[in-house]
Structure 1
Amino acid sequence: MSLTVIKLGSSVVVHDDGSLRAEGIAALCATLAGRHRGGERFVVVSSGAIARGVRELGLAARPTGTDALQAASAVGQGRLFRQWDDRFAAEGLTAAQVLLTRYDLGDREAFVNARRTLAKLVELGTVPVINENDTTTTEEISFGDNDLLAAQVAMMLGADRLVLLTSTDGLFSADPRVDPAATLVREIHDVERALADNDVGATTSTLGTGGMRSKALAADVAASAGIPTVVASGLRPEALGRVLAGEDEGTAFVAGPARWSSFKLWLRHAKQARGTIEVDEGARRALQRDATSLLPVGVVGVTGDFRAGDAVDVACGGVVVAKGISGYASGALRLVQGERTERVRELLPQAPEEAVHRDRLVVL
């Protein structure tokens, strides 16, 4: 049984004026239903709640204030899911509404619980329809039009592929709206190089918040979990069917083997860093070359206010080289930074030996 996470941007779900692209959603549900009957399973990540709310509230344009965005989301979220529910029901499928926040992804216990719930919903044959719960939170609204959320859901569930449906046919060598010589890039093996070599900007629709850059970065997150990604048009009904059939459609981001364990993938991509530990060159070499733990003796600076158990970036010369779970609160680590283990024991007898243990560290 294959599992595909499919994300639809706001411009695919609604028109610029906030009205629903009903025929497109119906066609997508019909496509998924046909393949679902063949044994495939799907999770849908749908943007468009705020855009729907903007229309329902009679606003002239997408607001910029957080309170107005949250109000629009509160109005639009139920109406948007009702459309998904009705369309899937017409195809004989049951939709399940799931709203996630960064807390659900960044807290390990909540992350695992969300993973279990989503896995059970898929096992029961439903189609989870996910959106960010941005009605009562503030960080989520500018999350990249759900691209990163979709990648993290794919990573969470160990999906077989991620499909990002947008208003363009994929990633182009330049912006095709201004450069008539721009060509569609069919396959990408190195996201960082693609971002450097191509004009992958943060262009947006009037109602969305994402751009091709956020899709490329989401593909990189998925690739770190060994999950291939395709960016394709959500405005041509046949495009999704071609992608799911493995045909040449859109831009394919090729993924190799998973780079890290499930825990380290979560740490790298879902857990928010609360501070930075600056290390010397010797510590950097030991972390990157020898996969050692980080000891207080290699610490030369501490930035931020964090507790033991919080995630921190590890930097050398201002460049982040790793990310890990700190064994120290920031104040305690400042007290013992640069000290050898014997001295650390004198200053803080109950403190751990490692500032960051290698089992709780991701080297970038």
Structure 2
Amino acid sequence: MSLTVIKLGSSVVVDDHGLLRTDLLAALCATVAGRHAEGERFVLVSSGAIARGIQQLGLPSRPTAIDALQAASAVGQGRLFRSWDDLFAAEGLIAAQVLLTLYDLGDREAFVNARRTLAKLVDMGTVPIINENDTTTTEEISFGDNDLLAAQVAMMQGADRLVLLTSTDGLFSADPRTDPSARLVREIHDVEAALTENDVGTTTSSLGTGGMRSKALAADMAAAAGIPTVVASGLRPEALARVLAGEDEGTRFVAGEARWSSFKLWLRYAKPARGTIEVDDGARRALSRDDTSLLPVGVVGVTGDFKVGDAVDVRHGDELVAKGISGYASGALRRVMGERTEQVREVFPRAPAEAVHRDRLVVL
């Protein structure tokens, strides 16, 4: 049984006035239902709650203040899900509403619980409709945009593919609205090179966030889990049908074998770093080449205020070397940094030998 995560941008869900594109979404639901009947399973990540709220409240434009965005989301979220529920019910399917915050994925226990719940919903034949819980989220605990949320959901569920539906036909070499020579890039193997070679900006609709750059970054995240991504037009229902049929449509981001385990994917992309550990040349070489743990002796600086069990970035100068789960609180690590294990034990007899154990470390 294959699983596809489909993300729909605000420009696909609503028009420029915040009105639901009912006929378009009905056609997309019919496409999903047809594949569902053949045994495929789907999770949808739907933007549009804030845009629907803006329209309902009669606001002249998208607010910038967090409390106003939260209010718009509170008004629009229920209306948006009700529409999805009605559309899938018309196709004989049950929709399930799931609202997530970054905390739900950043905490390991909450992450595992969310993964189990989504897996059960999919096993029961429902179509989970996921959105960020904008009503309670803040800038500090926000995913930033639903492209990254969709990538994290795909990784969390071990999806077979990620489809990002937007208002363009895919990733272009330049902005096709202003550059007539812009060409559609059909296949990408190296996201970093593609971002460098093509004029990929962050232009968005007036009602949404994100942009093509965030989609490329989301595809890169999915690729780390071995999940291919397709960016295609959501304004043409036949485009989704072609993508699901494996036909040449949109821009395909090719993924190789998964680079990291589920735990390390969670650590790399879902758990926010609470501080930084600076390391010396020897520690950098050992981490990058030898798959070793980070010992206090290799630490030359500690930034931030973190606890045992918090995630930290490991840096060497300007280079981000790794990310891991700290075995020390920041204050304790400052006291013993640069010291050998026997010296550390004189200060903290029961302290772990490792500042960050290799099993809880992902080298970047």
Range into which the TM-score falls when normalised by the shorter chain: over 0.9
Q: Provide the residue aligned with 2:210 in structure 1.
A: 210
Match of 2:66?
66
Please show how residues 254-333 of structure 1 align to structure 2 within 5 Å. Answer: 254-333=254-333
SS at match of 1:240: helix
Distance 2:273 2:29 in 1: 38
Q: How far, CA to CA, are the matches of 2:141 and 2:172 in structure 1?
A: 27
Post-superposition CA distance 1:98-143 (Å, at most 9, x none): 0000011100000000000000000000000000011012137863
Contact residue 9 and residue 145 of structure 1 kept, 8 A = no
CA–CA distance in 2 between the matches of 1:145 and 1:342? 47
* 8 Å contact kept, 2:101–2:143: no
Q: How has the CA–CA distance of structure 1 residues 31 and 231 changed in structure 2, closer, same or farther, with 3 Å as cutoff?
A: same
Shift in Å at residue 96 of structure 1? 0.2
1:152 is displaced (CA, Å) by 0.3
- Counterpart of 2:332 in structure 1: which amino acid? A
Counterparts of 1:140 and 1:159, CA distance in 2: 27
**Distance of 1:199 and 1:158 partners within structure 2:** 31
**Whole-angstrom CA distance in 1 between matches of 2:71 and 2:20:** 19
Contact conserved, 1:278 with 1:318, CA < 8 A, in 2? no
Percent of matched pairs sharing the same residue: 84
Whichever residue aligns with residue 295 of structure 1, its letter is L
Once the two structures are superposed, residues 192-213 of structure 1 have per-residue CA deviations (whole angstroms, 9 ceiling, x without a partner) of 1111111111111010011000
Which aligned pairs between 1:128-207 and structure 2 lie closer than 5 A?
A: 128-139=128-139, 143-207=143-207
CA distance in structure 1 between the aligned counterparts of 2:141 and 2:232, rounded to whole angstroms: 23
* Corresponding pairs, count: 364
Q: Is the 8 A contact 1:134 1:140 kept in 2?
A: no
> What does the per-residue CA deviation read over 1:230-262, in whole Å, with 9 as the maximum and x for residues that have no partner?
000000010000000000000000000000000
Does the CA contact (< 8 Å) of 1:10 and 1:145 recur in 2?
no
Residues in 2 aligned to 1:31 and 1:79: alpha-carbon distance in whole angstroms:
22
Can you list the C-alpha shifts for 1:34-89, whole angstroms capped at 9, x where unaligned? 01000000000000000000000010111110000000000000000000000000
Counterpart Cα distance in 2 of 1:55 and 1:143: 23
What is the letter of the counterpart of residue 27 of structure 2?
A
Q: Which amino acid aligns with 1:324?
A: G
Query: What is the Cα deviation at residue 144 of structure 1?
Result: 3.8
Instruction: Tell me the distance in 2 between the aligned counterparts of 1:178 and 1:142.
Output: 32
Alpha carbons 1:267, 1:362 under 8 Å: kept: yes
Hey, what does 1:234 align to over in structure 2?
234
Check the 8 A contact 1:133/1:140 in 2, yes or no. Answer: no
What is residue 361 of structure 1 aligned with on the other side?
Answer: 361
Aligned mates of 1:161, 1:360 — CA distance in 2 = 27
Which residue pairs with 1:85 in the alignment?
85
Matches of 1:149 and 1:22 in 2, distance apart? 24
Identify unmatched segments of 5+ residues in structure 2.
none
Moved runs in structure 1, 4+ residues, more than 6 A?
none
8 A contact 1:10–1:208 mirrored in 2: yes
Equivalent residue for 1:98? 98
SS of the residue 2:180 aligns to? coil
Cα distance in 2, alignment partners of residues 319 and 145 from structure 1 = 26
Q: TM-score, normalised by structure 2?
A: 0.99
> Residue 348 of structure 1: CA displacement?
1.1
TM superposition score normalised by structure 1: 0.99
- Is 2:19 aligned against 1:11? no
| Aligned partners of 1:309 and 1:327 also within 8 Å | yes
